[in-house]
């Protein structure tokens, strides 16, 4: 299993895209020609950045269950991945952090079959260790003088935040609307922000550097993660097996350990 | 407005001292690297010597004592103007504003400063060029503008660093004339290579050799009676140094020079024998007759000198007619006898007498 | 039949050199052409004049202008000190000043965070004084100044050193005090370099992204400058992102044009 730095992904996509120009339907033949072992194959999985830890774990399990198969991941923001797949990047599997981005590919007829929801995630309030501002509820975030950081409404965690605000009738006045949930988390970890709205899994993944304060209103915005085989996948069979592992007990255990809930 | 300067910079091997009485111009002569520039830089405050004392008109400008600065007046507050080889006019200012720069720096209102600048430009012969940019001036014009600019600042001391060195030969005489007019009555130090500058512009001359002032006196005296090899050379005279033995100058082993001694000398005192190249005749065979001095030497250079031919052999020079030179078949490397009559040789002490300019 | 060779300028160049040169040029220009080809010209005006775009553009211009002024106020003395003053460690200082040029902007942002952030080196002092820099427009200006300053310093310092001190010496002997020498002689002489350095600094400030998003945050009208707006618009409205990118490209081309002109003017 190899992990690529995000920035390299477009280049790989470009190279693979060029290599595939000769005959995109003969991916299996290409693989056979490139490698002496007939079973050797590479499964390319495009997954939302928030899935990095769990998918790497599931990926190694998949590789040990399927000798000769290597799983190659490209982790990035869901919308970036959608854009890459629309531009012809050769993904076999796409796992999105929200249904909206998956629906874009479905609408473009780039998904084989129906997407399957495999996990959910909800928002929580991330605070510095020890919760110095004593925050216990969403309403506490409206106090004067608090530096609250959220995601921008244009990105998935931001739209979830907007939904929570609308459902609860609480209006936050953030000092910053960040580009990604990681940016929000880092602002809290750095101590610049007193609190930030992030996903439960983010707090879990951040270890001791932040604490999570759960709040009831988070049920207004349950984020659902769908997964699907990409149309014209060169490894369609392996893709289906990988999806089965993610939705099966192995995948669900790993996801639960990381803080994801079942759909 | 008199200048008294002493500056020592050990790492350059320089230790010089000069005095310029108020209203007089001192020409500083000397070979390249002798320490002339160090002297100017010390006076202008562009250099902090290891040991120095610069006093202008009774005011201490620099006092440095073994590397410790006791008094230091920054360059802009010294009232010391500097004219360099190149004009160094500010390229972004008009000629008029260049000249007005000094008065403006002294706080003179713009209109008044420009009027002063205009007058100075007229004095140096640059009427009508007020609005030009320096790039549109010839080398001579630029140097005139630089002179106007230096003097418009009304400095108490003017320093000139080979002001004609970068100019066409043709532009020099007129500029030298202008400079002699505007320097009249000012206290100035002029560093030059050219004996004409010293003769026409300076009241006094100091000769610097190897970081020391070896001569210092009124121009005419230094040039007529040089006491250093360099001064003799730029004065165009042959000089042989040695010790006075009562009737002549003994120059090393077996060589004696006889001549006319016009000042009292004590036996054993250092003395020089000086004579004009034109008084020297060149022979290939021994000569007899009235008391003569004969020097044996190999010719190094034969070159035209006015309508004569200058023959250089050893440290001496002889000016002879082209006819003689041809007849004697003088070529570099040939051994010759240089002969000068005793009556043509002047002998005097190396040390300038008390009745002349005080030796600093 | 005769083959006529056309004389080329720089004919000493081997012919093969044109191939990599052409590829290099294509690498630079092709993406720009591709981007321009994606501009939806019909929607361009509404996209550029949307509230968020105009707010971001106004903020970018305001902060970049302020950062440029700061760069001039701080960078000119820095360049002069580095070029003229003699002090121990000057060569080291000269290299360190250029650090933001080679550092990834994100690293700059992190460094700024640990300096001016709440828990940063100066953060506590600033908090006592009632100053909060993170998440404020001040943070944007600081980040832009941080990354843009070396551009001004490097171009000006080189020019000052090349110019030498001949004119300054003359000015001093004409009675000009150091400040007057600086304002009336030194700076006018290096004016072309100062102008191109200032324009470059402005351009760099305008394009600054990494340090801003790391250090300042992103809030419309406060810290969300044009590059941040472009990055965010990409999530939902790629057309708007391309339209705004076009604005930055136009600004960059203008800036390059300006520096080229001042550059040629400065060469004698």
Residues of chain B neighbouring C181 (CB-CB closer than 8 A): 76
| Integer Cα distance of B249 and B239 in angstroms | 11
| Integer Cα distance of A124 and A121 in angstroms | 10
Domain that holds residue B193: 3-224
Quick check: C79 pLDDT over 50?
Answer: yes
C189 and chain B in contact, CB less than 8 A: yes
Question: Is C220 close to A190, i.e. CB distance below 8 A?
Answer: no
Q: Indicate whether B104 and B208 sit together in one domain.
A: yes
pLDDT score, position A7: 41
Phi, psi for residue C220 in degrees, rounded to 5: -55, 130
Q: Indicate whether B213 and B334 sit together in one domain.
A: no
ipTM: 0.79
Contacts of B296 (CB under 8 A, 6+ apart): B335, B336, B337
More confident residue, C252 or A20: C252
In the β-sheet with B260-261, what is the strand arrangement from edge to edge? B256-258, B248-250, B238-244, B270-275, B346-349, B260-261
| Integer Cα distance of B278 and C77 in angstroms | 64
Question: Is A192 close to C232, i.e. CB distance below 8 A?
Answer: no
Number of domains composing chain B: 2
pLDDT (mean) for C203-212: 90
Show me where the domains of chain C are located: 48-103+136-266
C186 DSSP assignment: I
pLDDT, one tens digit per residue, over A60-110 is 999 999 999 999 999 988 888 999 999 989 999 999 988 989 999 999 999
Considering only alpha carbons, which residue of chain C is nearest residue A174? C219
User: Is B317 among the domain residues?
Assistant: yes
Residues of chain B neighbouring C163 (CB-CB closer than 8 A): none
Q: Indicate whether B168 and B278 sit together in one domain.
A: no
| Integer Cα distance of B115 and B111 in angstroms | 6
Residues of chain C neighbouring A147 (CB-CB closer than 8 A): 134-135
pLDDT score, position A31: 41
Quick check: B115 pLDDT over 60?
Answer: yes
Residues of chain A with CATH 3.40.190.10: 2-119+225-257, 121-222
pLDDT, one tens digit per residue, over B215-274 is 899 998 888 888 888 888 888 889 988 889 888 888 877 788 888 887 888 888 888 999
Contacts of B244 (CB under 8 A, 6+ apart): B250, B261, B265, B266, B267, B268, B269, B270, B271, B347, B349
Mutation choice for C interface testing from B43, B61, B84, B92 by most C CBs within 10 A: B92
Per the listing, tokens 């799983």 go with A71
Question: Is B153 close to C175, i.e. CB distance below 8 A?
Answer: yes
User: Is B230 among the domain residues?
Assistant: no
Task: Give CB contacts under 8 A, 24+ apart, made by B328-335.
Answer: B328/B282, B328/B283, B328/B284, B330/B282, B330/B299, B330/B302, B331/B299, B331/B302, B332/B299, B332/B300, B332/B301, B332/B302, B333/B298, B333/B299, B334/B284, B334/B298, B334/B299, B335/B296, B335/B297, B335/B298, B335/B299
pLDDT score, position A17: 39
Q: Indicate whether B74 and B196 sit together in one domain.
A: yes
- Weakest mean pLDDT among A12-26, A129-143, C100-114, C207-221: A12-26
C188 and chain B in contact, CB less than 8 A: yes
C174 and chain B in contact, CB less than 8 A: yes
> If interface means Cβ-Cβ distance under 8 Å, which residues of chain C face chain A?
113, 117-119, 134-135, 213, 216-220, 223-224, 228, 231-236, 238
Residue B26 belongs to a domain with what CATH number? Answer: 3.40.50.300
Helical (H) or strand (E) element with A236? helix A236-247
Quick one: CA dihedral C123, C126, C132, C135, positive or negative?
negative
CA atoms within 13 A on the CB side of C201: 34
User: From the list C113, C231, C233, which residue is nearest A190 (CB)?
Assistant: C113
- Weakest mean pLDDT among A11-20, B152-161, C28-37: A11-20
| Integer Cα distance of B241 and B227 in angstroms | 9
pLDDT score, position C11: 67
Quick check: A140 pLDDT over 50?
Answer: yes
| Residue A39: band (very low, low, confident or very high) from pLDDT cuts 50, 70, 90 | low
SS3 category, B2: coil
Question: Is A192 close to C213, i.e. CB distance below 8 A?
Answer: no
Residues of chain A neighbouring C220 (CB-CB closer than 8 A): 177
Q: Which of B177, B203, B224 is the last residue of a domain?
A: B224
Tell me the residue length of chain C: 268
Phi, psi for residue C43 in degrees, rounded to 5: -95, 0
Superfamily designation of domain C48-103+136-266: MetI-like (1.10.3720.10)
Measured CA to CA in angstroms, residue B293 lies from A41, B265, B268, B347, C126 at distances of: 111, 20, 20, 13, 93
| Residue C1: band (very low, low, confident or very high) from pLDDT cuts 50, 70, 90 | very low
Neighbouring chains of A at 3+ CB pairs within 8 Å? C
| Integer Cα distance of C66 and C60 in angstroms | 10
pLDDT (mean) for C47-65: 91
pLDDT score, position C6: 53
Question: Is B105 close to C166, i.e. CB distance below 8 A?
Answer: no
CA distance B200 to chain C (A): 25
Contacts of B317 (CB under 8 A, 6+ apart): B238, B277, B280, B310, B311
A128 and chain C in contact, CB less than 8 A: no
pLDDT, one tens digit per residue, over C225-251 is 999 999 888 877 888 889 999 988 888
The answer to whether A211 and A203 are in contact (CB under 8 A) is: yes
B189 DSSP assignment: E
pLDDT score, position B329: 85
- Weakest mean pLDDT among A236-250, B121-135, C120-134: C120-134
User: From the list A152, A187, A190, which residue is nearest C232 (CB)?
Assistant: A152
Quick check: C183 pLDDT over 60?
Answer: yes
Question: Is C238 close to A176, i.e. CB distance below 8 A?
Answer: no
| Residue C194: band (very low, low, confident or very high) from pLDDT cuts 50, 70, 90 | very high
Pick the CATH number of A2-119+225-257 from 3.40.190.10, 3.30.360.10, 3.90.1150.10, 3.40.50.720: 3.40.190.10
Per the listing, tokens 């390319």 go with A44
The answer to whether B222 and B239 are in contact (CB under 8 A) is: no
Measured CA to CA in angstroms, residue C231 lies from A78, C15, C49 at distances of: 14, 42, 17
Determine the straight-line distance between the first and last CA of chain B, rounded to whole angstroms: 18
pLDDT, one tens digit per residue, over B4-57 is 999 999 988 999 999 999 999 999 998 888 888 889 999 999 999 999 999 999
CA distance B284 to chain C (A): 55
pLDDT, one tens digit per residue, over B307-356 is 899 999 888 899 999 888 888 888 888 889 899 988 889 998 887 653 34
pLDDT score, position A63: 94
Phi, psi for residue B324 in degrees, rounded to 5: -65, -40
Q: How are beta strands B188-192 and B157-161 bridged, if at all?
A: parallel
Chain C touches chain B, with at least 3 Cβ pairs below 8 Å, answer yes
CA distance C167 to chain A (A): 51
pLDDT score, position B43: 94
pLDDT, one tens digit per residue, over C156-172 is 999 999 988 899 999 99
Instruction: Give the domain A121-222 fold.
Output: D-Maltodextrin-Binding Protein; domain 2 (3.40.190)
| Residue C262: band (very low, low, confident or very high) from pLDDT cuts 50, 70, 90 | low
């Amino acid at each position: 299993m190899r992990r690529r730095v995000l920035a390299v992904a477009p280049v790989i996509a470009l190279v693979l895209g060029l290599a595939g120009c000769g005959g995109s339907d003969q991916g299996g033949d290409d693989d056979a020609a490139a490698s002496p072992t007939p079973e050797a194959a590479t499964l390319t999985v495009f997954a939302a950045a928030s899935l990095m830890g769990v998918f790497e774990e599931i990926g190694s399990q998949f590789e040990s269950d399927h000798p000769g198969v290597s799983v190659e991941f490209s982790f990035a923001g869901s919308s970036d991945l959608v854009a890459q797949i629309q531009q012809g990047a050769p993904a076999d599997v796409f796992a999105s952090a929200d249904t909206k981005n998956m629906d874009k590919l479905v609408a473009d007829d780039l998904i084989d079959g129906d997407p399957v929801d495999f996990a959910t995630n909800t928002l929580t309030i991330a605070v510095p260790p020890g919760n110095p501002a004593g925050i216990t509820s969403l309403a506490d975030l409206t106090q004067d003088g608090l530096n609250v950081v959220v995601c921008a409404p244009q990105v998935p965690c931001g739209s979830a935040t907007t939904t929570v605000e609308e459902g609860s009738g609480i209006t936050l006045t953030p000092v910053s609307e960040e580009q990604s949930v990681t940016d929000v988390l880092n602002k809290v970890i750095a101590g610049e922000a007193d609190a930030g709205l992030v996903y439960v899994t983010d707090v879990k993944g951040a270890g001791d550097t932040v604490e999570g304060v759960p709040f009831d209103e988070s049920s207004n915005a349950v984020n659902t993660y769908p997964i699907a085989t990409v149309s014209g996948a060169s490894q369609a069979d392996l893709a289906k097996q990988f999806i089965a592992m993610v939705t099966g007990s192995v995948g669900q255990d790993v996801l639960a350990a990381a803080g994801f809930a079942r759909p | 407005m008199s200048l008294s300067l002493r500056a020592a910079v050990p790492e350059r091997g320089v230790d010089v001292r000069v005095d310029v009485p108020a209203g007089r111009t001192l020409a500083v002569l000397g070979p390249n690297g002798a320490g002339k520039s160090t002297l100017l830089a010390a006076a202008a405050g562009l250099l902090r010597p290891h040991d120095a004392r610069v006093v202008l008109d009774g005011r201490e400008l620099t006092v440095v004592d073994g590397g410790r600065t006791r008094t230091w007046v920054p360059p802009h507050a010294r009232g010391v103007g500097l004219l360099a080889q190149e004009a160094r006019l500010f390229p972004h200012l008009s000629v008029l504003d260049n000249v007005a720069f000094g008065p403006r720096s002294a706080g003179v209102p713009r209109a008044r400063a420009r009027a002063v600048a205009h007058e100075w430009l007229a004095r140096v012969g640059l009427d009508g060029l007020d609005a030009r940019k320096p790039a549109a001036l010839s080398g001579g014009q630029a140097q005139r503008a630089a002179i106007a600019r230096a003097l418009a600042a009304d400095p108490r001391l003017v320093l000139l660093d080979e002001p004609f060195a970068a100019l066409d030969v043709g532009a020099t005489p007129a500029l030298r004339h202008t400079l002699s007019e505007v320097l009249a009555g000012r206290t100035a130090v002029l560093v030059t290579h050219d004996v004409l500058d010293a003769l026409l512009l300076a009241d006094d001359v100091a000769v610097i050799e190897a970081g020391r002032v070896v001569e210092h006196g009124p121009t005419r005296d230094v040039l007529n009676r040089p006491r250093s090899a360099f001064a003799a050379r730029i004065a165009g005279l042959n000089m042989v140094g040695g010790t006075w033995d009562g009737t002549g100058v003994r120059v090393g082993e077996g060589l004696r020079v006889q001549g006319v001694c016009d000042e009292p000398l004590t036996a054993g005192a250092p003395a020089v024998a000086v004579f004009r190249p034109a008084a020297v005749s060149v022979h290939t065979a021994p000569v007899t007759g009235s008391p003569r001095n004969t020097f044996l030497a190999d010719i190094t250079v034969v070159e035209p000198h006015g309508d004569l031919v200058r023959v250089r052999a050893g440290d001496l020079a002889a000016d002879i007619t082209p006819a003689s030179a041809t007849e004697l078949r003088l070529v570099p490397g040939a051994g010759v006898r240089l002969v000068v009559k005793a009556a043509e040789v002047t002998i005097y002490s190396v040390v300038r007498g008390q009745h002349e300019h005080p030796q600093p | 039949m005769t083959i006529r060779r056309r004389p080329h300028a720089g004919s000493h160049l081997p012919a093969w050199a044109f191939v990599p040169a052409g590829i290099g040029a294509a690498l630079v220009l092709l993406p720009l052409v591709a981007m321009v080809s994606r501009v939806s010209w019909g929607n361009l005006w509404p996209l550029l004049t949307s509230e968020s775009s105009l707010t971001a553009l106004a903020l970018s211009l305001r902060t970049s202008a302020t950062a440029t002024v700061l760069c001039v106020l701080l960078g000119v003395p820095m360049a002069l000190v580095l070029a003229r003053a003699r002090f121990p460690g000057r060569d080291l200082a000269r290299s360190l000043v250029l650090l933001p040029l080679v550092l990834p902007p994100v690293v700059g942002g992190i460094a700024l965070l640990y300096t001016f952030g709440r828990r940063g080196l100066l953060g506590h002092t600033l908090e006592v004084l009632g100053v909060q820099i993170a998440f404020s427009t001040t943070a944007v200006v600081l980040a832009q100044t941080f990354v843009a300053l070396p551009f001004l310093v490097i171009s000006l310092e080189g020019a000052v050193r090349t110019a030498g001190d001949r004119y300054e010496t003359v000015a001093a002997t004409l009675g000009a005090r150091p400040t007057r020498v600086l304002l009336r002689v030194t700076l006018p002489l290096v004016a072309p370099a100062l102008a191109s350095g200032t324009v470059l600094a402005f351009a760099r400030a305008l394009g600054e992204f990494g340090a801003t998003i790391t250090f300042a945050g992103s809030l419309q009208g406060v810290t969300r400058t044009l590059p941040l707006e472009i990055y965010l618009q990409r999530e939902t409205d790629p057309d708007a992102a391309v339209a705004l990118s076009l604005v930055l490209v136009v600004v960059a081309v203008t800036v390059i044009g300006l520096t080229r002109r001042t550059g040629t003017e400065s060469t004698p």
